[in-house]
Amino acid sequence: MYSSVDLHTHTTASDGTLTPKALVEVALRRKLRVLAVTDHDSTEGVDEALSAAGSTLELWPGVEVSTDVPGSEVHILGYLVDHTDIPFQAMLRRLRDSRLGRARQMVSKLNDLGVAISWARVQEIAGAGAVGRPHVAQAMIEQGYVATLPEAFQRFIGRNGPAYVERYRLTPEDAVRLIVRAGGLPALAHPVIVENGKESWLDLEDLLPRLASAGLAGIECYYLNYTRAIKRRLLKIAATWNLVATGGSDFHGLGNLVVGPGEVAVPDEVADRVRERLIQRQSGQQRAQQTEV
Ligand code: AMP
Ligand code: ZN
Ligand code: FE
Ligand code: FE
């Protein structure tokens, strides 16, 4: 049995291994009803996914924006964004461009460290998609320098690794505002990462007040390997901050995070709550505009 709602998935438009069409085909086979395509710093997969979805699957244009926070990875999801919004696309393009220069520098650092992978191969692996560290890691695996993606991150390209390079990123607040301006609903992605049974929590006491005033509307409470205790704690936090509890599989495809579309238990009503909140916000904005006139 699969969940009928999955609000966090990646495609070849970033570091996923399935094309948008192939992802939608899996989702259709699994009888999902709502699927958000949330590629890193890109909505380039959305149109293909929309055409493939037909009428039985509600396909949400989405995005996952990586942000700049010292010492940790804060990702902001945007659901139901207007992916045709021109300023939004200009910013996403800028973010993707900074990924290119950065990946190139990482390859050169790796070369200095004796890891002889080529930039041409990394580009080939990334294809037309937003280039990311998993593409660099894939090239390292192909050449036998590491056996797995986690090993590549641990030994070389993780935040504290010797080949890590920074890039231009938005603050989490600006990522939230970017999504709001593009008509979408912003949610904090994976507030806790569970790896080998170990929980790494973001500093929510610091983040949530800042993000809430920027317009944060959701928080991922249903995610890979979340225990009942984690879910309970996150749902409480969601209630305290009046955030919609969202969730998804963060499907990337084979070899990476290995859970498939619909394989994280997300309650059906989550999609309704997101839609409702978006409508509430839109009518609030209209009222505010009317009183300004
Ligand atoms: P980037 O977008 O270049 O910052 O790379 C981040 C992406 O790499 C994440 O979204 C995951 O898909 C993947 N990733 C991050 N950490 C790990 C890890 N330890 N093992 C495997 N994949 C990872
Ligand atoms: Zn990813
Ligand atoms: Fe993420
Ligand atoms: Fe993701």
pLDDT in tens, the chain (293 residues): 899 999 999 999 999 999 999 999 999 999 999 999 999 999 999 999 999 999 999 999 999 999 988 888 899 999 999 999 999 999 999 999 999 999 999 999 999 999 999 999 999 999 999 999 999 999 999 999 999 999 999 999 999 999 999 999 999 999 999 999 999 999 999 999 998 899 999 999 999 999 999 999 999 999 999 999 999 999 999 999 999 999 999 999 865 557 899 999 999 999 999 999 999 998 888 888 888 76
Pick the closest to residue 205 from 178, 247, 233, 231 (CA basis).
Answer: 233
Q: Which residue has the tokens 């225990």?
A: 227
Pairing, β 185-188 against β 72-79: antiparallel
Pocket probe mutation, ligand 1, options 133, 166, 223, max atoms within 8 Å of Cβ: 133
Distances (CA, A) of 265 to 48, 49, 64, 185, 220: 26, 22, 20, 21, 12
Report how far ligand 4's centroid is from the alpha carbon of 220 (Å). 11
Q: With a 6 A CB cut-off, is 256 part of the ligand 1 pocket?
A: yes
Give distance in angstroms: CA of 133 to centre of ligand 1. Answer: 6
Residue of 153, 159, 200 with the most ligand 1 atoms within 8 Å of its CB, for mutation: 153
Q: Is any atom of ligand 1 closer than 6 Å to the C-beta of 189?
A: no
Residue nearest atom 3 in ligand 1 by C-alpha distance: 132
What's this model's pTM, rounded to 2 decimal places?
0.95
CB-ligand 1 contact for 134 (6 Å cutoff): yes
